[in-house]
Amino acid sequence: MNRNELNRAKQRTAEMFSQAGIQLTAEEVANIEVAWFGLDHLEKQGLELVTYVNTDRYCAKELVLFPRQTCPEHIHPPVGADPGKQETFRCRAGKVWLYVEGEPTANIQASIPEGSESFYTVFHEIELNPGEQYTINPETKHWFQGGPEGAIVSEFSSTSRDEHDIFTDPNIDRMPTLSED
pLDDT of residue 128: 98
pLDDT band of 175, cuts 50, 70, 90:
confident
pLDDT (0 to 100) of residue 178: 81
Other CB atoms within a 10 A radius of the CB of residue 161 amount to 16
Taking residues 98-116, report their average pLDDT: 97
pTM higher than 0.75 for the full model? Answer: yes
- List C-alpha distances in Å: 159 to 48, 60, 97, 168: 18, 9, 23, 22
Other C-beta atoms within 10 Å of 18: how many?
A: 12
CA distance linking residue 7 with residue 16, whole number of Å? 14
Helix (H) or strand (E) holding 18: helix 3-19
CA 22/CA 35 separation, integer angstroms: 20
- DSSP character at residue 162: G
What pLDDT was estimated at residue 181? 61
Amino acid 146: pLDDT: 98
Q: CA 160, 154, 23, 17 torsion: positive or negative?
A: positive
Percent of the chain topping pLDDT 90: 91
Looking at the DSSP bridge assignments, the partners of residue 50 are 62
Beta-bridge partners for 45? 70
Q: What is the pLDDT of residue 176?
A: 83
Tell me what percent of the residues of the chain surpass a pLDDT of 70: 99
Going by C-beta distance under 8 Å and a sequence separation of 6 or more, which residues neighbour residue 66?
12, 16, 42, 43, 46, 48, 146, 150
Q: Residues 10-45: pLDDT tens digits?
A: 999 999 999 999 999 999 999 999 999 999 789 999
pLDDT recorded at residue 174: 82
Mean pLDDT of 63-87: 97
pLDDT at 37: 93
